[in-house]
Chain A
Amino acid sequence: MELTRRDVVKGALAASAGAAAFGVPHIFVRRLTQANAQDKTIKVGILHSLSGTIAIIERSLHNAELLAIDEINAKGGVLGKKIEAIIEDPKSEVRFFKEKAEKLILKDKVAAVLGCYTSASRQSVLPVFEKYNSVLLYPTLYEAQECSYNCFYTGAVPNQQLSDFVPWLIKNVGPKFYLIGSNYIYPKETNREVKAYLAKYGGQTVAEEYAPLGSTEFSTTINKIKSAKPNVVFSDLVGDSIVAFYKQYRQFGITAKDIPIGTPITTEEEIKAMGPENAIGHYTSFNYFQSLKNPVNERFVKAFKGKYGQDKVTNAVMEAAYFQTYFLAQAIEKLKGNTDPDGLIQEGLPGQQFQAPQGKVKIDPVNHHTWLWARIGRANTDGQFDVVDESKDWIRPDPWTRVLYPDKDCDFSKVPKGSKSGTITVKRS
């Protein structure tokens, strides 16, 4: 006979075993995890791409957070308990971000997650954090227009990067701007804000164009720039495109003396990849540069290079990843070791301060964003930035950019308890 009943039973058992194996470990792990949560460590999730196109920058965020955790644990941890990092790699794909976020929250039961770089990844995981009421700390500059109950934003919002940068460029370089960017929401929103600032400060938009994400052929764009003769090229290109654009820009004979590039995105990391000679003289606006001269930063850079290699560079986004880890640790300490999400969100995190490599930083008590310093840097021959301007004091974050949304603000003290969004309407005179 062909397949006997024995085979069928064997098959069924095998199938059940397979499917069970897929699900059973969960039961045991769940018990184990619950047991652990009570005693030895504080679990924190790290959700950054370690492979794929975004890994180029996101890996440094992961590294910075682990550095902070090591330092905290070396000093005894939080109230005697060590922080345990549960690391997940979403491989630069948005669907994995969501899946791994769910895993960290539901399966590993972490106290909070330090994660994400692109807006796409943040937007994909936020509903998960809101649905299961957990906490995400997001270190990356972004286009704002958001304030989620379950998220704390430690990266720059546009008013902390652009409100000084654009008028400075108009005054020191010229009023005619050529806007370029990668074709998705962050560059488009940013350029919208830039145009609003230009209108306010007497600048002028000569042209605006977008390149497909990841594109590396810019000769046409550069020709158009040459014909249009702007004073400044304002670039919101991200990722691979940055390196290709700067390289081709110089190859086609445009130097920073003729038409400098101004950007809120290009960091020391991208300059390393394109070679310093392609970046000399161009401007970037950030809260932090590796070249900042203060003892906290010098210690930070030394520790980072010591742990990961002398050829590594530090940049603004991973500096935020670094100090947000300290924010989290301090918050848990403030709550006497309690990692209840609502406690962290309502009491532990708001108002936290820290002496970061960029200077003193603070989480605003009512809008979940962070007070940061604004600086303008010009790239030099070493691939580092010379600071040409900086704000006198730290700048309050405006999650709803005033120049575009004068009637909106983010204030959790003014929304009903349990709201997932802190956006309110205000009347400004």
Chain B
Amino acid sequence: MSIGLPRRYLALAVAVIGVLFFFPFYAGDFRMNQLGLFLCFVMFALSLDLIWGFTGILSLGNAVYFGGGAYFVALSLKLKYAATNPARYGSGIPDFMEWNGLTAVPTWMLPLESIWFAAPAGVLAMGFLAFVFGFITFKRHIYGVYCAVITLAESLIFEELIIEKQAYTGGFNGITDYGSYSSNTNFYWVILAVTVLFFWLARRITTSHFGMILQSIRENELRSEFFGFEVANYKIFVFTVAAMMSAVAGGLYAALNGIISHQEIGPLLSVEGVIWVAVGGRGTLIGAFVGTILIKGAESLLSEQFAWMWGLLVGLIFILVIVLMPDGIVGTLLRRARRRRAIAAGRAPAYEPRAVSAEDTPTA
């Protein structure tokens, strides 16, 4: 069975997965819960790497799909919880519905009570949303900085909508108190399994012919068009896949966390995801894992000690990484390894010119 990974990396991957697998046994409940949530973020970052690192689409609003998937699952769990614990809020409906004067769950929401419907529905809904948005944006050849700003606007719209429609979404407070799978080792392993699966999937996509075209789009979109590729279609496809991946990650996050709010939909999380990928190394897939775990882990540990300067540190590190290591940690390591190989094989000079990237064309 071809995993698409050279043997040496495979060993490393197995080692890392092993460490993650045995984590609950020596780290305790609190850290295991944290790591579970981090892995959801890793999947989110992975989806961003697909669209940004490989295809060159910078989206500052992809958390909409993460949060969207999360809201579907959270609503479903909440409806079930309220129905089975009628004494909790006084009637069998969620508290935020009661506070907004609803007397019963709206009929269009009833199917969500079943998690087996809600979870896939969420993923498909997010996929559809991404498809529509991708269609509007990419068919019109909106890319680069404009695309980034438009996605930002879109995520703000959704964040505001979620807050406004309090009767259905819990508003600013979000959806809380619906039971969760935290401190559940089995659920942690489920998340780990899905993460590994997604990495495998991403690897398949990016090492295929399709993946090569994506990268050519990233390098020079116009040229790819001239080669005859329907660039918009490729972008729409990968954007949709990434959105559905995020939605799954979001659903798992909601089930693990026990609470979801507009913060998981808004631009803040979207930009954070981009930062994780940038620091880890875009276009490397594993960079998404490294960047997310590194930053979230450091944030968790350091903010416990140095709360006051943590934010400043993140900003500075980010600037340094962007300027000095544009390929991120993993990207730079891989590049160095490749160069060492090339020099050793006599295929490249010892001096390396400045890395040229796609946007280096003079006319913007």
A, B co-complexed: yes
CB-CB contacts below 8 Å: A1-45 with B: 2-3, 5, 7-8, 11-12, 15-16, 19-20, 22-24, 26-27, 30
Minimum CB–CB distance for A422 against chain B, Å: 10
B172 touches A15 (CB 8 A): no
- Whether a CB of chain A sits under 8 angstroms from the CB of B341 is yes
A16 touches B15 (CB 8 A): yes
Minimum CB–CB distance for A332 against chain B, Å: 24
With known contacts A19-B19, A51-B307, A107–B30 Cβ distance under 8 A: yes
A189 touches B99 (CB 8 A): yes
CB-CB contacts below 8 Å: A313-372 with B: none
What is the 8 Å Cβ interface bit string for chain A, positions 168-203, against chain B (1 contact, 0 not)?
A: 000000000000000111001100000000000000
Q: Is the interface of A mostly helix, strand, loop or mixed?
A: helix
User: Which residues of chain A have C-beta atoms less than 8 A from B301's C-beta?
Assistant: 22
- Whether a CB of chain A sits under 8 angstroms from the CB of B176 is yes
What is the 8 Å Cβ interface bit string for chain A, positions 92-132, against chain B (1 contact, 0 not)?
A: 01110011001100110000000000011001101110010
Minimum CB–CB distance for A138 against chain B, Å: 15
Minimum CB–CB distance for A300 against chain B, Å: 27
Kindly state the separation between the CA atoms of A93 and B96 in the bound complex, as whole angstroms.
20
User: Which residues of chain A have C-beta atoms less than 8 A from B11's C-beta?
Assistant: 8, 12
Minimum CB–CB distance for A88 against chain B, Å: 7
| Total number of B residues with any Cβ neighbor in A under 8 Å | 57
Minimum CB–CB distance for B191 against chain A, Å: 15
Minimum CB–CB distance for A328 against chain B, Å: 23
A3 touches B263 (CB 8 A): no
B16 touches A12 (CB 8 A): yes
**Which among A12, A19, A27 is the interface contact of B12 at CB below 8 angstroms?**
A12
Kindly state the separation between the CA atoms of A99 and B35 in the bound complex, as whole angstroms.
12
Kindly state the separation between the CA atoms of A93 and B272 in the bound complex, as whole angstroms.
14
User: Which residues of chain B have C-beta atoms less than 8 A from A188's C-beta?
Assistant: 99-100, 166
With known contacts A2-B337, A12-B15, A184–B30 Cβ distance under 8 A: no
User: Which residues of chain B have C-beta atoms less than 8 A from A23's C-beta?
Assistant: 23, 26-28, 31-32, 35
A94 touches B33 (CB 8 A): no
Kindly state the separation between the CA atoms of A127 and B77 in the bound complex, as whole angstroms.
14
B177's nearest neighbour on chain A, judged by CB, is A127
Minimum CB–CB distance for A17 against chain B, Å: 9
B34 touches A99 (CB 8 A): yes
User: Which residues of chain A have C-beta atoms less than 8 A from B300's C-beta?
Assistant: 99
- Whether a CB of chain A sits under 8 angstroms from the CB of B297 is yes
- Whether a CB of chain B sits under 8 angstroms from the CB of A255 is no
CB-CB contacts below 8 Å: B1-27 with A: 8-9, 11-12, 15-16, 19-20, 23, 26-27
Kindly state the separation between the CA atoms of A2 and B177 in the bound complex, as whole angstroms.
52
Kindly state the separation between the CA atoms of A189 and B96 in the bound complex, as whole angstroms.
11
User: Which residues of chain B have C-beta atoms less than 8 A from A185's C-beta?
Assistant: 96, 99, 166, 171-173
- Ordered by A's residue number, 7 sampled pairs between the chains whose C-beta atoms are within 8 Å are A22-B31, A23-B26, A94-B173, A106-B29, A184-B166, A184-B171, A188-B100
A interface, CB within 8 angstroms of B:
2-3, 5, 7-8, 11-12, 15-16, 19-20, 22-24, 26-27, 30, 50-51, 88-89, 91, 93-95, 98-99, 102-103, 106-107, 119-120, 123-124, 126-128, 131, 145, 183-185, 188-189, 212-213, 408, 419, 421, 423
Query: Lowest 10 CB-CB distances: which A-B pairs, in order?
Result: A23-B27, A12-B15, A184-B172, A120-B173, A89-B307, A106-B30, A123-B176, A3-B8, A19-B19, A26-B28
